[in-house]
Amino acid sequence: MAVTLKQIAEIAGVSRGTVDRALHNRGRVSPEVAERVRQIAQELGYQPNEVGQALARSRRQIKLGVVLQSAETPTMKIVAQGVRQAAQTLEKQGIEVLFRPIESVDAMRELECLDELLTAGIHGLAIAPADDPSVCERLGQIAERDIPIITFNADLPQSKRMCFVGQDNDRAGRTAAGLMAMMVPQNGTVAAITGHLCNDGHRARCGSFADELSRIAPGITLLPVQPCSDRDDCAYELTCNLLREHPGLSAIYVAANGQHGVCEALRAAELDGTLRVIAYDVTRQNIDDLKQGAISILIDQKAQEQGYRPLMLLRDYLFSGTLPNSEFYYTGITLKTRYNL
Amino acid sequence: MAVTLKQIAEIAGVSRGTVDRALHNRGRVSPEVAERVRQIAQELGYQPNEVGQALARSRRQIKLGVVLQSAETPTMKIVAQGVRQAAQTLEKQGIEVLFRPIESVDAMRELECLDELLTAGIHGLAIAPADDPSVCERLGQIAERDIPIITFNADLPQSKRMCFVGQDNDRAGRTAAGLMAMMVPQNGTVAAITGHLCNDGHRARCGSFADELSRIAPGITLLPVQPCSDRDDCAYELTCNLLREHPGLSAIYVAANGQHGVCEALRAAELDGTLRVIAYDVTRQNIDDLKQGAISILIDQKAQEQGYRPLMLLRDYLFSGTLPNSEFYYTGITLKTRYNL
DNA sequence: TTGAAAGCGATACCAC
DNA sequence: GTGGTATCGCTTTCAA
């Protein structure tokens, strides 16, 4: 069995409480004793037993708040599942999770929720925020109060958050470009449809895609990126126009929502399965379109983990003072075809 | 806070010990009391606190054995990492893991290890076994002794093991075929190189690949599968011959080891990056070849999880009597390009 | 500055 | 059949 606090205490000739305080720098230990205890712990290779820790801490009632915007969208529903799963795990560890899903993008509503959570006395906050200065500012104020904040799914770099959990959109875009280059003839033509030109994430996915594609496959023609406002009907129109104006089109890159509109347009033209489509996120609808062959490859952002991880990171920070390794905690980029869903 | 044993005990007017026995069917409880306790637990939605359980169980000193063949190969080294990671986690829960890595495929040595572990008094066994009747038979005997066995990485369906943890080779092969069909022109030619024609896993990966490819892309010509004995030098020769005899070759599917030999042959012919190569497993060497562009896509079998999961399943079975959901626990099929490693 | 002791939730052993 | 109690490893009062 591994080394325990008790053993160290016996060897050092002090009590377990003292060892605990010494090893965790809780103060109220004379420097000499602290040093000796640390020395012994070091030699014995003491590793705190996480199970014991968790059990003991389960008395200390701590609360975490979660705010999630656009909760009605397919991807965010998956993110929310991750939040709930984390909440369940944490509840067993004596941590209460206050979850506030918000419909659509609504900065006002977010501010309200933040106030509620603060009043409820949360010790940490995870938020998938709207890109709005008022939210950013409020988060700054909360951080000043020594309440750790983690943004997820969407970032707010200016907000003094501890870290961001989400996809590396730049890499995701490059990954898409790499796949395109493998699937499309060296002199082919590719179209790109995005959600909003002003959305940071969407821009990153398109910019890096274009950049990488021109670098590794200069022979391929990339048509100008067109925004569809994340709407299927708009994406449908855009796709119809593309097919008309570029009969030799080889593939379409869909950087945000609107995928299904693209698929429908391809079906109408009986080109589904012939034209390659790369899109994002493993949602119900996308799975269907993937299975039916309209989408070739999905790039997944591990939405569930985006909901799960922030809460775990907050716990680790509040319990052990462990900071995330980096300011950016990127969830992996996974590729799905109809065969490996 | 969640419901605890103590609360149930108070409501039922019995002791915690009794509640514990009733809920876990440990016997020594009158049927009426047991029923009443279960009723209350049900109503309150009692969920045992896993942390508490883990701590309490950490006294019961239980031992798990792990045998791993071909431990010197790159993939198995990763599997071994998973084993060690699991061992570390389990040690904190009071479970001792006896790990026996074995070089190459050696049924005799495996039998020896099994005897050692049995003598040491293991309560459960995880094994990546040689496909050998003597091993299979011995496992049968061990299973008779009520020691649960889980095979991983390679299966031995006849051995009375509780379940198998590993890749679904059939699906993996079809996944490869799906990717091939996207990357190769509809009238292209594809070669397939495997390890051993008699190896179950290799056969499955090739058979399903051929099957699926002919189904979804009947225009593609698949050359006869050639075995390279998992050797790079042999794969090199085979590839050189292929390139000579089939100048129009579009892609090579490498179902087992020998990938690097293929890559070297392509480099020699200055065709790396032009011909598509689909291969298996994220190993050091494969990562290099992927980054350099010789390999287009790697199909990964989550080797680490294959080492990790069996031990966790054994723990769950021994502690809670939880059986794996299915006889087959397939680790996911993940796709890696140079962009999403 | 230190130690003793009371938990956290579940389990297991030993009396009765 | 049952209840009482010690215990797992750690944290956290509360006294001293």
User: CA–C1' span, A21 to C4, in Å?
Assistant: 15
Any atom of strand C under 7 A from CB of B25? Answer: no
Which chain A residues touch B58 with a CB distance below 8 Å? 51
Instruction: Indicate which of B295, B304, B335, B338 best probes the interface with A, i.e. most A CBs within 10 Å of its own CB.
Output: B335
* CB-based contact A337 B175, cutoff 8 Å: yes
Q: Return positions of chain C under 7 A from a protein CB.
A: 1-5, 7-13
C-beta atoms surrounding B339 within 10 Å? 20
Q: What is the rounded average pLDDT of the residues A277-305?
A: 97
Angle among Cα A209, A215, A219 to the nearest 5 degrees reads 100
pTM: 0.91
- Cβ separation B47–A276 shorter than 8 A: no
B52 touches strand C (CB under 7 A): yes
Q: Which residues contact A62 (CB under 8 A, 6 or more apart)?
A: A94, A95, A96, A123, A124, A318
The distance (Å) linking the CA of B7 with the C1' of D13 is: 24
CA distance A155 to chain B (A): 21
Instruction: Flag whether residue B297 sits within 8 Å of chain A, measured between CB atoms.
Output: yes
Nucleotide nearest to B16 (CA to C1'): D3
Overall average pLDDT of the A297-313 stretch? 96
B197 touches chain A (CB under 8 A): no
Query: If residue A239 lies in a helix (H) or strand (E), which one and from where to where?
Result: helix A232-245
- Using the predicted structure, report yes or no on whether residue A38 has a pLDDT greater than 80: yes
A13 touches strand C (CB under 7 A): yes
Protein-to-nucleotide distance from the CA of A94 to the C1' of C7, whole angstroms: 14
d(CA A271, CA A269): 5
Nearest CA in chain B to A331: B340
Q: Give the list of residues 6+ apart from residue A189 with CB closer than 8 angstroms, or none.
A: A220, A221, A222, A223, A246, A248, A249, A250
The values of phi and psi at residue A295, to 5°, are: -100, 135
| H/E segment holding residue B209 | helix B200-216
- B283 within 8 A of B74, measured Cβ to Cβ: yes
Round the average pLDDT of chain A to a whole number and report it.
Answer: 94
User: Coil, strand or helix: which one is A270?
Assistant: coil
| Torsions phi, psi for A90 (to 5 deg) | -70, -30
Query: Is strand C in 7 Å reach of the CB of A27?
Result: yes
Give the type of residue at A179.
L
A95 CA vs C15 C1’ separation (Å)? 39
Least confident piece of the model among A5-14, A291-300, A325-334: A5-14
Answer yes or no: do A175 and B340 touch at CB < 8 A. yes
What's the burial of B98, exposed, middle or buried (CB within 10 Å: 0-12/13-18/19+)? middle
Do the Cβ atoms of B2 and A92 come within 8 Å? Answer: yes
Specify the pLDDT at position A269. Answer: 96
Residue A7, nucleotide of least CA–C1' distance: D9
* A137-161 pLDDT, tens digit each: 999 999 999 899 999 999 999 999 9
Which residue bears the tokens 């609107």? A258
What pLDDT is recorded for position B25? 87
Categorize the per-residue pLDDT at A190 as very low, low, confident or very high, splitting at 50, 70 and 90.
very high
- Residues in chain A with CB shorter than 8 Å from the CB of B341 are none
The whole-angstrom separation of Cα A123 and Cα A146 is 9
pLDDT in the model for residue A60: 83
Nearest CB to B337 within list A51, A91, A178: A178
> Mapping DSSP to helix (H, G, I), strand (E, B) and coil, where does residue A340 land?
coil
Residue nearest to nucleotide D6 (CA to C1'): B56
- Interatomic CA distance for residues B99 and B76, integer angstroms: 13
What does the pLDDT read at residue A320? Answer: 79
CA A50 / C1′ D14 distance in Å: 26
Tens place of pLDDT for every residue, chain B, 341 residues? 788 999 999 889 999 999 999 998 888 899 988 999 999 999 999 988 888 988 888 888 889 999 999 999 999 999 999 999 999 888 888 889 999 999 999 999 999 999 999 999 999 999 999 999 999 999 999 999 989 999 999 999 999 999 999 999 999 999 999 999 999 999 999 999 999 998 889 999 999 999 999 999 999 999 999 999 999 999 999 999 999 999 999 999 999 999 999 999 999 999 999 999 999 999 999 999 999 999 999 999 999 999 999 999 999 898 878 889 999 999 999 999 999 99
pLDDT at A1 over 80: no
Q: What are A334's strand-pairing partners? A: A300
pLDDT of residue B319: 82
Would you call B3 an interface residue with chain A, using a CB distance cutoff of 8 Å?
A: no
Residue of A2, A52, A334 lying closest to B91 (CB–CB):
A2
Nucleotide nearest to B4 (CA to C1'): C9
- Say if the Cβ atoms of B92 and A334 lie within 8 Å: no
Using the CB atom, is residue B274 less than 7 Å from strand C?
no
Contact state of A171 with B340 under an 8 Å Cβ cutoff: yes
Strand C proximal to B61 Cβ, under 7 A: no
pLDDT digits (tens, 9 = 90+) for A234-286: 999 999 999 999 999 999 999 999 999 999 999 999 999 999 999 999 999 99
Please report, as a single letter, which amino acid is at residue A133: P
Q: A249 in the Ramachandran plot: left (φ > 0), alpha (ψ -120 to 50) or beta?
A: beta
Which candidate from A54, A171, A339 shows the least CB-CB separation from B178?
A: A339
CA of B158 to nearest chain A CA: how many angstroms apart?
28
**C4 C1' closest Cα residue:** A15
